[in-house]
């Protein structure tokens, strides 16, 4: 049986891995529109349509691949999956950097979606190396990496983009490959041979991964909470730019600054508030508090009458960061050690499927209530809907926690 990895090095690697992934995604935000216009010769309006389809491909591949990669990590271990995903991410960035046509951007997003599907393996690794009482706090490290990444990524993209729209992708590729090499040198396997299980196709597809968890009735309700949370959360990346530019006439610089502020505040929540608050108030109360703050914050966004008001509501909204890690910790206790990868794969598939559906739902809602045929003008409609989703998710969570826990069944 392999020696358990030193928790400090293991968590540091996972943190860096998620940070690199998110920086890469953040870098794309300011430079992708320019790159698309260069490749297609079309204007910014059509570039936005291409960008939407690129996002669709990325989310779709995550949906299809997350269960398979999670199950592969249950069979072969977390280490090879994590390192392989970083190498593939580096290849994606290189392809994008040298892409001669728009087709190659889709190839890159295809590979990036597969690489991003290793996210559940990172959570499974954390579950492997963390005692139950520290899982919520350590899951919060992943959220902190996302927050920091979305602070650093757009800044790097904007800075390097002035030297060419492809330069940021070369830098991202170098970072990803260096992280893969770092993993080869220092990362130890977290899943003992005795806890591994045979790879089975029925577990390794999106439908099979979800059906495999039907024996946990309470888990199905918690999955509903995850779906509603993710649908609400996607209102920010889908709508924020359009909402602030239309309603408050913000410039791209102002939009970028606001996203950096949100990222910085989320980092504080994931890095410090989660680690302090969850042990004191408990995981269940942390979920309720996070959902309530997220719902109130979204409602504040929807009805804000001045741009600066959004910053005050940010301080409330960012506490939504308490809900995810606490909910993940609750769910991870519902399955055994050999099923952590499968659980995280199912969660990632749900999140990716929601990310496939969320952009057209939210953007069309925004477009309808800002268009000429709207019964009334309401640019905050998508944020209002997100607030309702979080309120509903809290109700579903309350119902799930009142139900007696289902007995754990072993294969």
pLDDT in tens, the chain (411 residues): 343 444 666 777 778 777 877 777 777 666 666 777 788 887 544 555 576 677 778 878 877 777 777 667 777 777 788 888 888 888 988 998 899 999 998 998 888 887 775 667 777 777 777 777 777 777 777 777 777 787 787 677 767 777 777 888 888 888 888 888 877 887 777 666 666 666 566 555 666 655 655 655 557 788 888 889 988 988 887 777 777 877 888 776 677 778 778 888 887 888 788 888 888 998 889 999 999 999 999 999 999 999 999 999 999 999 998 998 888 888 877 666 666 666 766 676 677 678 788 877 877 787 778 777 889 889 898 899 999 999 999 999 998 877 554 444 444
- C-beta separation of 256 from 244 below 8 A: no
Gap between the Cα atoms of 376 and 368, Å rounded: 10
Cβ within 8 Å of residue 122, ≥6 positions away: 14, 17, 18, 78, 82, 142
**Domains and their CATH numbers in the chain:** 7-189+202-402 (1.20.1250.20)
* pLDDT, position 83: 82
Report CA torsion sign: 26, 325, 55, 21: positive
- Residue 214: CB atoms within 10 A of its CB come to 9
Gap between the Cα atoms of 257 and 33, Å rounded: 18
- C-beta separation of 256 from 158 below 8 A: yes
- C-beta separation of 345 from 120 below 8 A: yes
Gap between the Cα atoms of 254 and 248, Å rounded: 10
* pLDDT, position 6: 46
Q: What is the dihedral of CA 364, 369, 373, 375, to 10 degrees?
A: 140
- C-beta separation of 86 from 176 below 8 A: yes
Report CA torsion sign: 158, 353, 115, 325: positive
Given phi > 0 = left and psi -120 to 50 = alpha, else beta, which region is 323? Answer: alpha
């Amino acid at each position: 049986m392999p020696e358990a990895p030193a928790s400090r090095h293991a968590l540091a690697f996972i943190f860096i891995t998620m940070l690199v992934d998110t920086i890469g995604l953040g870098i794309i935000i300011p430079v992708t529109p320019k790159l698309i216009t260069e490749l297609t010769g079309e204007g910014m309006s059509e570039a936005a349509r291409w960008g939407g389809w690129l996002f669709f491909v990325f989310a779709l591949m995550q949906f299809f691949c997350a269960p398979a990669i999670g199950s592969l990590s249950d069979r072969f271990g977390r280490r090879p999956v994590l390192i392989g995903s970083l190498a593939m991410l580096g290849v994606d960035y290189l392809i994008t950097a040298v892409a001669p046509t728009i087709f190659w951007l889709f190839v890159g997003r295809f590979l990036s979606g597969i690489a991003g599907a290793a996210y559940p393996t990172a959570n499974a690794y954390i579950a492997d190396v963390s005692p139950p009482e520290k899982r919520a706090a350590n899951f919060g490290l992943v959220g902190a990496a996302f927050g920091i990444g979305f602070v650093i990524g757009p800044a790097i993209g904007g800075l390097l983009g002035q030297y060419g729209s492809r330069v940021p992708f070369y830098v991202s590729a170098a970072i990803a490959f260096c992280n893969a090499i770092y993993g080869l040198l220092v990362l130890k396997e977290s899943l003992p041979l005795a806890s591994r299980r045979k790879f089975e196709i029925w577990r390794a597809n999106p439908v099979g991964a979800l059906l495999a968890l039907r024996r946990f009735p309470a888990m199905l309700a918690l999955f509903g909470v995850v779906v509603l949370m993710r649908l609400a959360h996607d209102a920010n990346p889908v709508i924020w730019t359009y909402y602030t530019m239309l309603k408050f006439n913000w410039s791209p610089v102002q939009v970028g600054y606001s996203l950096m502020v949100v990222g910085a505040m989320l980092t504080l929540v994931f890095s410090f508030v989660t680690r302090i608050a969850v042990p004191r108030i408990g995981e269940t109360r942390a979920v309720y508090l996070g959902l309530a703050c997220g719902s109130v914050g979204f409602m504040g966004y929807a009805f804000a009458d001045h741009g600066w008001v959004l910053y005050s509501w940010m301080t409330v909204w960012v506490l939504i960061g308490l809900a995810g890690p606490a909910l993940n910790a609750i769910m991870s206790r519902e399955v055994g050690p050999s099923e952590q990868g499968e659980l995280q794969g199912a969660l990632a598939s749900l999140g990716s499927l929601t990310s496939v559906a969320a952009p057209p739902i939210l953007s069309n809602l925004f477009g309808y209530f800002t268009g000429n045929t709207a019964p009334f003008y309401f640019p905050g409609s998508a944020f209002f809907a997100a607030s309702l989703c979080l309120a509903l998710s809290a109700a579903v969570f309350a119902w799930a926690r009142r139900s007696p826990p289902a007995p754990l069944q072993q294969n």
